[in-house]
A and B are shown apart, each in its own frame.
Chain A
Amino acid sequence: MKKGQKLPHGEKNFSLWLVWAAAMHAMVFLLAVSLQLWDADRHSRPKIVTVTLVSLSGSGEPSREDSGPQGAAAAVVAPSQAVQTPPVSKKSVKEPVPVPVNKQSVKAPVPVPEKASVIPKKISVEPLTPKAIEKKPDINQALLRLKQNVDKKTAQLPPPSTTNLNTALARLQQKVKSEGEGTGTGTGRGQGSSSAERNGGGRGSGGGGTVDSYKSQIVSIIEQNWSFSKQLLKNSYGMKVYVRINILADGTIRQILYDRRAPSEYLNNSVKKALEKSSPLPALPKEEGSRDIWIGFVFTPEGIE
Chain B
Amino acid sequence: MPDSRLGFFGLLSDTGVVVLMVLSVLLSFSIISWAIIAFKFGYLRKSLRESKVFLDYFFEVCNVDKVFTESENFRYGSLPRVFRSGYIEYRAIADKGDIRQARARIARAVKREVNAENKRLSTLVPFLATVGNTAPFIGLFGTVWGIMNSFHTIGLTQSASLAAVAPGISEALIATAAGLAAAIPAVIAYNSFTQKISVIERDLEEFSPEFVAAFINEP
Contact = CB atoms under 8 A, between A and B. Distances in A.
A37 B31 contact: no
Contact of B34 (A9, A21, A32, A233): A21
A135 to B, nearest CB: 35
A140 B26 CA distance: 72
B165 to A, nearest CB: 11
B72 interface: no
A263 interface: yes
A266 B31 CA distance: 46
A17 B2 contact: no
Nearest to B152: A234
A124 interface: no
Given A233-B158, A234-B155, A234-B156, A18 B76 contact: no
B43 A10 contact: yes
Interface stretch (B3-11, B191-199, B206-214): B3-11
A232 B160 contact: yes
Interface in B152-179: 154-156, 158-161
Interface in A38-85: 39-41, 44-45
B120 A11 contact: yes
A215 B74 CA distance: 96
A265 B155 CA distance: 12
A25 B9 contact: no
Contact of B76 (A8, A17, A264): A8
Contacts of A41: 2
Given A10-B43, A266-B158, A21 B8 contact: no
Contacts of A25: 27, 30-31, 34
B32 interface: yes
Interface of B: 1-4, 6-9, 27, 30-36, 38-39, 42-43, 46, 75-76, 116, 120, 123-124, 154-156, 158-161
20 contacts: A6-B116, A8-B43, A8-B75, A11-B123, A17-B35, A17-B38, A17-B39, A21-B31, A21-B35, A24-B34, A33-B9, A36-B4, A37-B4, A44-B2, A45-B3, A232-B155, A232-B158, A234-B158, A265-B161, A266-B160
